[in-house]
Chains A and B, each alone.
Chain A
């Protein structure tokens, strides 16, 4: 509400400023019709706004002025000087009251009636003269400011000038200007990236790097601020709805209340404008078809007044907006009849549909459940247009309906028009972006769960018992012919269109998730019907955004209402809390599972990125080093290795697998297993037993090696080069800290047999003796040959156990 109030104040001010000059001119020539109209509009608008905000005094004043002025306009009254003065006095009073409202103060009582009386042309000259002295200088001020383009506030007539400083000022700007600034900032970011690359190439330069970092930070802040500038609260959209609802319900003889929630959610201004029409249509639809007349409602045991609820929530980069009514719900049968009558579906197709699917019929073109075309809805613009519009801005719409209880429309909208979450994929050596909202799943063509088949020329892919058509991106774009053999090497992106159609898009590679800024493309490129826009990569190179719905329509005749039977009926039965797990084949090709929550992503790296040496196995992914696990089951593949990146929320490890098989729900029990410490237990997936990795154990093992506090210390001979350069790293790798010289108590001491010991120095709880001569090993109760790595590590481990035991 505060926001709206600020708007009211700003608008009133703006009008006062604009009409400042008019007022003076009108005063000079009271018969000037154009001036009169302007001033009339001003008081009229103020009156309208006051009614909305419940400012009875303001309303009364503006109402009186409006009455008097309309008399003049109608020619029933002559605009004499007395009237002009009285109107001016009222306008000044409005200005003062507006200031008071903004400052949150009470305007001193009284005086209003006298002002209003002055309008009546009574000869109460005292009042007029009492007001005039204050009014006139103020008018001059107005005129002066109207000429001034900067047009700031008009506090001059405010009785307490000190208050003006506390007022939060706002200005209105054309959106074009904002866009231009935003574009400038984007350019700056690109220039910065370029500069940063050059600086990196030039090596470290402390005198430049510091200021450059500062510049980067400032730029990031500016960018965030500019983005915020484009945001507007949903309240702005909501505020226009009560009136619409009122008008519509009056027209239709219904009574409807509105309820808003989440007006503070912010959305891109342009996005607000884009959803205004679809939302209006949904409202029309709800009031016209959904909410019953008062009589019918009472008969059904509902309140006489229908309720229309708007609830908005922000979830990450998306806004969800739910419009629900408590009317009769969607008449599924009639909808189905219409669909059959319109020839969209056959009766048998309809019969096979679930209720949910039938509800979605409302979005099919050419359907309207209203029997007669009313003036409100059903005038040829159907819900199909609503859906098309919502989808055009990258959103989606869904409907849920319960007979007799009402229907609700769920809109999901991206935060801004221009930034979308995208998946970047590669084909023919180039990158393309796919809006992430379409991506359902990504599978590897080589996975054993994926089967390719052909029917005629159409390639089909079967995945998880679903057979869907498969398109190769290279083929669609005409850059790549694919041999049968090549399919295995592709990555399949399963695309679910808004119409619920699913198809698989085969690409060479999936790169990354990225938020991209989408820009429009030239009409000649649009004509290909392959692309929806273009975007720039970080390095400034352009990348095309694929237009999946249109590709699907052209290649598969999908979407556009003609839905195939792939539509998955929702699995309703959600028995016990099912835990999602990922099934994979380990290096030994045995099937195992890991809890899906632990899997952060799946990486495919080349064999060179993996380094295994002794007990240490690490993999390099995107410049970071991860500990590699899962090697105990077999050899790594020779060329490319598939790694699961697992996380416990803080640290990450990678787990080598041969293949990622499937995702499944683990709804059965996990039968604990004692034998294998890395296995949490086994569970039943389908008909087979699958061992489930013990995340705890995986990461626990990790921690032992990384632990820095409370490590055992080990003293090594300080005067031996061999000990320092060769032994020390080994001991450290085994989890020991090298003890400082002599003074400290060490947990373990390593002695070299060949070097004379300076008698037992500070205490060590156990001693390991090493010898240079393999033949001497074993003698003397546990002397170890110095290159007997296993023996040495075993001894160190023994020492550790000895202590922790």
Chain B
């Protein structure tokens, strides 16, 4: 197992995004809101000449929004040709996955279950592996 993971904090929990999905980690300065979109889409931010759709990970999981800190870090991922900035509470290092993602009996709890690929072991303990494309779809699918 040599899968690299970007370890981060989402809604106060340790989580990981496959590093192969992540183009870069940026600090978001200014977000242009897009009225009419679901809550978890915070708006647009510009990275060089590209516009990124900013997704609040906690809200996308259907969890409460965490208090915004000063430096808002986001992982830039590309899903189906569109660029997204996944806003996390904090972004840590890139680490190695020490196991395959496995399901945990009883699930990970509402919200997490849908966007999680499973639990992986890392050096800093068990971590939830986030599936970026289901995260981006937001909590709406369940409602539908």
List residues of chain A with CB under 8 Å of any chain B CB: 183, 186-187, 189-191, 428, 430, 476-479, 519-525, 528, 530-531, 534, 536, 540-544
Q: Which of A183, A479, A524 contacts B49 (CB 8 A)?
A: A183
- The distance from the CB of A433 to the nearest CB of chain B, in whole angstroms, is 12
Verify B44–A542 contact, CB threshold 8 A: yes
Q: Mark B62-93, 1 if CB is under 8 A from A, else 0.
A: 00000000000000000011101000000000
Verify A477–B49 contact, CB threshold 8 A: no
Verify B36–A478 contact, CB threshold 8 A: yes
Verify A543–B36 contact, CB threshold 8 A: no
- Further pairs besides A524-B138, A536-B49, A542-B43: 5, Cβ < 8 Å: A186-B49, A521-B51, A522-B84, A523-B82, A541-B46
Given the known inter-chain contacts A522-B82, A524-B38, A528-B37, please indicate yes or no for A430 contacting B32, CB distance below 8 A. yes
Q: Does B123 contact A (CB under 8 A)?
A: no
Q: Mark B41-63, 1 if CB is under 8 A from A, else 0.
A: 10111101111010000000000
Given the known inter-chain contacts A524-B137, A528-B37, A530-B36, please indicate yes or no for A190 contacting B82, CB distance below 8 A. no
Given the known inter-chain contacts A428-B35, A479-B35, please indicate yes or no for A520 contacting B82, CB distance below 8 A. yes
23 sampled A-B residue pairs with Cβ under 8 A: A430-B33, A477-B36, A478-B36, A519-B50, A520-B81, A522-B41, A522-B53, A522-B82, A522-B84, A523-B80, A524-B38, A524-B53, A525-B53, A536-B46, A540-B49, A541-B46, A542-B32, A542-B43, A542-B44, A542-B45, A542-B46, A542-B51, A543-B32
CA distance A634 to B82 in the complex (A): 57
- The distance from the CB of B63 to the nearest CB of chain A, in whole angstroms, is 18
Q: Does B136 contact A (CB under 8 A)?
A: yes
Verify A534–B37 contact, CB threshold 8 A: no
Closest residue to A477 on the B side, CB-wise? B35
Q: Which of B30, B34, B136 contacts A544 (CB 8 A)?
A: B34
- The distance from the CB of A188 to the nearest CB of chain B, in whole angstroms, is 9
CA distance A190 to B80 in the complex (A): 25
CA distance A191 to B136 in the complex (A): 30
Query: B49: which A residues are within 8 A, CB to CB?
Result: 183, 186-187, 189-190, 536, 540
CA distance A186 to B37 in the complex (A): 28
Given the known inter-chain contacts A536-B51, A542-B51, please indicate yes or no for A524 contacting B41, CB distance below 8 A. yes
CA distance A183 to B48 in the complex (A): 10
Give the one of A186, A428, A523, A524 with max B CB within 10 A: A524
Verify A541–B30 contact, CB threshold 8 A: yes
CA distance A522 to B60 in the complex (A): 15
- The distance from the CB of B132 to the nearest CB of chain A, in whole angstroms, is 13
Verify A525–B37 contact, CB threshold 8 A: yes
Q: Mark B4-18, 1 if CB is under 8 A from A, else 0.
A: 000000000000000
CA distance A186 to B50 in the complex (A): 9
Closest residue to A185 on the B side, CB-wise? B49
Verify A521–B32 contact, CB threshold 8 A: no
Closest residue to B137 on the A side, CB-wise? A524
CA distance A386 to B60 in the complex (A): 39
Verify A525–B34 contact, CB threshold 8 A: yes
- The distance from the CB of B78 to the nearest CB of chain A, in whole angstroms, is 11
CA distance A222 to B81 in the complex (A): 27
Query: B80: which A residues are within 8 A, CB to CB?
Result: 523
- The distance from the CB of A112 to the nearest CB of chain B, in whole angstroms, is 53
Query: A530: which B residues are within 8 A, CB to CB?
Result: 35-36
Q: Mark B107-144, 1 if CB is under 8 A from A, else 0.
A: 00000000000000000000000000000111000000
Q: Which of A191, A523, A534 contacts B51 (CB 8 A)?
A: A534
CA distance A137 to B49 in the complex (A): 52
Query: B53: which A residues are within 8 A, CB to CB?
Result: 521-522, 524-525
Verify A478–B45 contact, CB threshold 8 A: no
Given the known inter-chain contacts A541-B32, A542-B46, please indicate yes or no for A524 contacting B37, CB distance below 8 A. yes
- The distance from the CB of A479 to the nearest CB of chain B, in whole angstroms, is 5
- The distance from the CB of A667 to the nearest CB of chain B, in whole angstroms, is 45
CA distance A528 to B84 in the complex (A): 17
- The distance from the CB of A196 to the nearest CB of chain B, in whole angstroms, is 16
Verify A524–B51 contact, CB threshold 8 A: no
Query: A528: which B residues are within 8 A, CB to CB?
Result: 34, 36-37
Query: B138: which A residues are within 8 A, CB to CB?
Result: 524
Query: B50: which A residues are within 8 A, CB to CB?
Result: 183, 519
Closest residue to B46 on the A side, CB-wise? A540
CA distance A777 to B51 in the complex (A): 73
CA distance A478 to B37 in the complex (A): 10
Query: A531: which B residues are within 8 A, CB to CB?
Result: 34
CA distance A530 to B36 in the complex (A): 8
Verify B41–A519 contact, CB threshold 8 A: no
CA distance A476 to B46 in the complex (A): 25
- The distance from the CB of B24 to the nearest CB of chain A, in whole angstroms, is 14
Q: Which of B41, B44, B136, B137 contacts A534 (CB 8 A)?
A: B44
Query: A190: which B residues are within 8 A, CB to CB?
Result: 48-49
Query: B33: which A residues are within 8 A, CB to CB?
Result: 430
CA distance A428 to B36 in the complex (A): 13
- The distance from the CB of A184 to the nearest CB of chain B, in whole angstroms, is 9
- The distance from the CB of A427 to the nearest CB of chain B, in whole angstroms, is 9
The 3 A-B residue pairs with the shortest CB-CB distance in the complex, in nearest-first order:
A477-B35, A542-B44, A522-B53
Verify A521–B82 contact, CB threshold 8 A: yes
- The distance from the CB of A648 to the nearest CB of chain B, in whole angstroms, is 40
Query: A186: which B residues are within 8 A, CB to CB?
Result: 49
Closest residue to A543 on the B side, CB-wise? B32
CA distance A544 to B51 in the complex (A): 10
Give the one of A476, A522, A542, A543 with max B CB within 10 A: A522
- The distance from the CB of A227 to the nearest CB of chain B, in whole angstroms, is 15
CA distance A521 to B37 in the complex (A): 12
CA distance A191 to B38 in the complex (A): 32
Closest residue to B60 on the A side, CB-wise? A524
- The distance from the CB of A547 to the nearest CB of chain B, in whole angstroms, is 11
Query: B35: which A residues are within 8 A, CB to CB?
Result: 428, 430, 477-479, 530
- The distance from the CB of B137 to the nearest CB of chain A, in whole angstroms, is 7
Closest residue to A476 on the B side, CB-wise? B36
CA distance A95 to B45 in the complex (A): 55
- The distance from the CB of A218 to the nearest CB of chain B, in whole angstroms, is 18
Query: B51: which A residues are within 8 A, CB to CB?
Result: 519, 521, 534, 536, 542
Verify B136–A524 contact, CB threshold 8 A: yes
Give the one of B36, B41, B46, B137 with max A CB within 10 A: B36
Give the one of B35, B43, B53 with max A CB within 10 A: B35
Closest residue to B38 on the A side, CB-wise? A524
Query: A541: which B residues are within 8 A, CB to CB?
Result: 30, 32, 46
- The distance from the CB of B35 to the nearest CB of chain A, in whole angstroms, is 4
Query: A523: which B residues are within 8 A, CB to CB?
Result: 80, 82
CA distance A569 to B62 in the complex (A): 53
Query: B30: which A residues are within 8 A, CB to CB?
Result: 541
Query: A544: which B residues are within 8 A, CB to CB?
Result: 32, 34, 44
Query: A187: which B residues are within 8 A, CB to CB?
Result: 48-49
Query: B44: which A residues are within 8 A, CB to CB?
Result: 534, 542, 544
CA distance A479 to B84 in the complex (A): 24
Query: A519: which B residues are within 8 A, CB to CB?
Result: 50-51
Query: A191: which B residues are within 8 A, CB to CB?
Result: 48
Query: B37: which A residues are within 8 A, CB to CB?
Result: 524-525, 528
- The distance from the CB of B37 to the nearest CB of chain A, in whole angstroms, is 5
- The distance from the CB of A137 to the nearest CB of chain B, in whole angstroms, is 49
CA distance A575 to B138 in the complex (A): 61
- The distance from the CB of A82 to the nearest CB of chain B, in whole angstroms, is 55
Query: A520: which B residues are within 8 A, CB to CB?
Result: 81-82
- The distance from the CB of A478 to the nearest CB of chain B, in whole angstroms, is 6
- The distance from the CB of B13 to the nearest CB of chain A, in whole angstroms, is 23
- The distance from the CB of A560 to the nearest CB of chain B, in whole angstroms, is 20
- The distance from the CB of A626 to the nearest CB of chain B, in whole angstroms, is 33
CA distance A191 to B49 in the complex (A): 9
Give the one of A187, A519, A543, A544 with max B CB within 10 A: A544
- The distance from the CB of A511 to the nearest CB of chain B, in whole angstroms, is 15
- The distance from the CB of A40 to the nearest CB of chain B, in whole angstroms, is 40
Query: A524: which B residues are within 8 A, CB to CB?
Result: 37-38, 41, 53, 136-138
CA distance A530 to B33 in the complex (A): 13
CA distance A190 to B37 in the complex (A): 28
